[in-house]
A = this chain, B = another copy of it.
Amino acid sequence: MRKKPIQQRARVLVSSLVDAAGDIVVEDGLDALTTVRVAERAGVSVGSLYQYFQNKDELIAALIEQVDSDLIATVDRVAMDALAADPQTFARALLNAAFDAFEARNGLAYELLKHWHRLDIGRGLYRFEQRMLEVLRAYALAHIRDHQVDPSPARAFVVINSVVFTLLRYLSLDAPPLFRRDELLAEMAAMAARLLVAGSPAAQGTGRRKVPGRRSPGR
* Binary CB contact string for chain A from 76 to 92 against chain B (1 if under 8 A, 0 otherwise): 00100110111111101
Q: Is the CB of B194 within 8 A of A194?
A: yes
Instruction: Give chain B nearest CB distance to A219 CB in angstroms.
Output: 4
Q: Which of B177, B185, B216 contacts A93 (CB 8 A)?
A: B216
**Among B81, B86, B183, B216, which residue has its beta carbon within 8 angstroms of that of A86?**
B216
The interface on chain A, measured as residues whose beta carbon lies within 8 A of the other chain's beta carbons, has a size of 74
For the complex, would chain A's binding face be called helix, strand, loop or mixed by DSSP majority?
helix
Do B165 and A194 touch (CB < 8 A)?
no
Contact B158 A187 (CB under 8 A): yes
- Give chain B residues whose Cβ lies under 8 Å from the Cβ of A78: 219
Q: Does A161 contact B (CB under 8 A)?
A: yes
* Distance, CA A198 to CA B193, complexed state (A): 13
A207 surroundings in chain B (CB, below 8 A): 88
Q: Which residue of B lies closest to A190 (CB)?
A: B201
User: Is A28 positioned at the interface, with any CB of B under 8 Å from its CB?
Assistant: no
A167 vs chain B, min Cβ distance (A): 9
17 A-B contacts (beta carbon < 8 Å): A81-B219, A82-B213, A84-B214, A84-B216, A89-B211, A89-B214, A92-B219, A96-B216, A154-B180, A157-B166, A157-B179, A161-B169, A185-B219, A186-B200, A191-B194, A194-B194, A194-B206
Which of A's residues lie within 8 Å of B, judged by CB?
Answer: 78, 81-82, 84-90, 92-93, 96, 114-117, 122, 143, 146-147, 152-155, 157-158, 161-166, 168-170, 172, 177-180, 182-191, 193-195, 197-198, 200-202, 204-216, 218-219
